Structure 1
Amino acid sequence: MAQPARFSAPQRLVESVRAEDTPSARAWLAQLPALLEARLAAWGLVPERIAEPGGRSSLLVHAHRADDLEPVALKLARPSGEAAALRTWAGRGAVLLLDEADGALLLERLHGEIPLRSLAEPKAMLEATSLLHRLWVPAPAGHGLPSLAEHARQLGDRIAERRSLPGAADAGPLVDEALEAVALAADGGGWLLHGRFRHGRVLAADRAPWLAVAPRPVVGDRAYDLASLVLDRLDTLAASPGPRGAARRRLARLSEAVELPADRVRAWTLLRAVDTALGSLAAGGTAAAELHLEFAAWL
């Protein structure tokens, strides 16, 4: 693809942005071709291909430097705090940020076709908890990132608003218990969190076995990050013999591996599971909603 203007956004990204249906989202999507062309030119990059199917909120282009053929990845995304987190980690446990400008990130190229999810679950969980130990660092002064306390309040408001959805009537006790977790955000500390840590957001790399990508960083309680890992691969866990016991053992093992109180991890997991379930109900995803509510009940 020699002409940057011929690049088109993946269908999944287009559908996601259009579904949001806000002026800022539509404007960002319309400006993508021009922004892509400008960044390729400014950074002296030769585009190779667009990563497919790609994300729902960003465009990732594989490219290389014209002068030395170094493989890189160019990411175009709306503001999310990702750059601030990557600057803080400076390649320690996460993809290395090479440059940034105008909402574009120039990243080292990882092996996107080899996510941590490609490993068997026990090995993947071991690698994931090891990586979390490296990512959890005190948030830098003046970071400007959202606090988990504020994010948790937003989750609580969203859950409370959606609890009357058809299909959620029987989940009242779980919803109540999940909402109690919002109070945990008040004393969770000032840790830099990935925000959406799971096997699919950890990729194989050349300078390290595995590196985290695509954070949605917040600052607060580390147990919030671990809850994402507890919730990963629910379909596999649900199909295992004795899923209720398996769910509890997974939570206990992961909590022990990173030395966090299991009760805090359980509370955050309930909050995230219920929020995901009600979000799925709102979008018409009954099967996903039932799976997450069932998992919450197992805990």
Structure 2
Amino acid sequence: MAFEPPGRLVRALGETAPEGDDWLAGLPGAARRAVELRGLTVERVQVPGGRSSLVLLVRTADGSPAVLKLAPPRARPESERAALAHWAGRGAVRLLEEAPVAGELLLEKLRPDVSVRSLPEARALLEAAGTLRKLWVEPPAGHSFETVAERTGRQAAAMRAGAAADPAVAPLVDAALAARAELLAAPAEEKLLHGTFRQSKVLAGDRVPWLAVGPDPVVGDPAFDLARLVRDRVEDLIAQPSGASTTRRRIKRLAESLEVDRDRLRDWTLFRAVESGVRAGRVGRARDAELLLEFAGWL
């Protein structure tokens, strides 16, 4: 079977490696070796799949369904492995093998075509928030996970460069960076976080109704994790005449339901929306940048 990477993965990796990507070029061969090593039978490549990994739906040697995920080092698959091992299936997809092979994850099979995003908006937010709550646990002793301060520090540097290149975004960047500084000056409790949580990262399962997938884990303020969920379906929010007020109600509802400080949630939502908007503009996704920065302006 040919293991050609889906177009979505090729485009997304091209944004972070515009001069070409050795990992992507070697992916078909790596996938064949990973399958042969485990004695797997491949059913299909998941399409459109993710933006940072190749996902294969497979069966193990005993016929059990599973998922094989291959990701490049810059997607931090070993950090994902460590987080999934720590959660041990509580709120998140389970690891199915203990002996790790770098960049390769064998996972329990969920229903990859059914996420909470398929539910009506109010129910989707409820189910997603309930799943996220399960992931907020104490990080393991001596962990090596990136912290929120470290990750957002790297992002802040890129945001400043984006503002220098496009003065039109400078006021929002300044506001977002000021919000970050205030948040880090008064730190909240630190938990292990999913890091890139949104509705499409919560898939239907058999063991429990909904489980999170695809973490890029960090340790820090839970409001940072929840902030990405606030802007889910941003295109729908922007299309609504009441989008700004709907966003404020969403912040209030999510903050209350997950017991996080509403002001911290608003400020992290601002930072993450501006960061994503500036990054989208930098790689040529002008429409995404426009939506995200308009959304940020409401905050």
TM-score by length of 2: 0.92
Alignment of structure 1 residues 36-55 onto 2, 5 Å: 36-55=31-50
Tell which deviates more after alignment, 254-263 or 238-247: 238-247
CA contact (8 A) 1:165 1:282 kept: no
CA contact (8 A) 2:164 2:170 kept: no
Partner deviation per Cα, 1:11-70 (whole Å, 9 max, x = no partner): 2223333443378x722223323322222122221111100111221100011012x210
Q: Which residue identity does 1:75 align to in structure 2?
A: K
1:206 is displaced (CA, Å) by: 0.5
Partner deviation per Cα, 1:208-261 (whole Å, 9 max, x = no partner): 110000001111110001100001111122223422211111111111110100
Separation of aligned partners in 1, 2:277 and 2:220: 23
Structure 2 vs 1, CA of residues 258 and 13 (structure 1 numbering), >3 Å: closer, same or farther? same
Alignment of structure 1 residues 1-299 onto 2, 5 Å: 1=1, 6-21=2-17, 26-66=21-61, 68-79=62-73, 80=76, 81-99=79-97, 100-166=100-166, 168-169=167-168, 171-183=169-181, 184-185=183-184, 187-299=187-299
CA contact (8 A) 1:185 1:221 kept: no
Separation of aligned partners in 1, 2:248 and 2:12: 34
CA contact (8 A) 1:165 1:281 kept: no
Partner deviation per Cα, 1:156-208 (whole Å, 9 max, x = no partner): 11111101334x52x43322220023332352333111011000111000011
Instruction: Give the SS at the match of 2:92.
Output: coil
Separation of aligned partners in 1, 2:122 and 2:242: 17
Partner deviation per Cα, 1:121-168 (whole Å, 9 max, x = no partner): 1000111111111000011012211111111111111111101334x5
Separation of aligned partners in 2, 1:174 and 1:235: 19
CA contact (8 A) 2:55 2:68 kept: yes
CA contact (8 A) 1:227 1:266 kept: yes
Separation of aligned partners in 2, 1:276 and 1:16: 14
Tell which deviates more after alignment, 133-142 or 236-245: 236-245
Separation of aligned partners in 1, 2:264 and 2:196: 17
Instruction: Give the SS at the match of 1:56.
Output: coil
Q: Which residue identity does 1:147 align to in structure 2?
A: T
CA contact (8 A) 2:15 2:283 kept: no
Separation of aligned partners in 2, 1:128 and 1:216: 17
TM-align CA RMSD: 1.8
Structure 1 residues not aligned, in runs of 5+: none
Count of residue pairs brought into register by the alignment: 291
CA contact (8 A) 2:163 2:173 kept: yes
Separation of aligned partners in 1, 2:248 and 2:236: 14
Instruction: Give the SS at the match of 2:127.
Output: helix
Separation of aligned partners in 2, 1:161 and 1:260: 31
Instruction: Give the SS at the match of 1:138.
Output: coil
Structure 2 residues not aligned, in runs of 5+: none
Tell which deviates more after alignment, 229-238 or 84-93: 229-238
Q: Which residue identity does 1:144 align to in structure 2?
A: S
Instruction: Give the SS at the match of 1:54.
Output: coil
Partner deviation per Cα, 1:107-134 (whole Å, 9 max, x = no partner): 0011011011000010001111111110
Separation of aligned partners in 1, 2:197 and 2:155: 17
1:267 is displaced (CA, Å) by: 0.7
Structure 2 vs 1, CA of residues 112 and 137 (structure 1 numbering), >3 Å: closer, same or farther? same
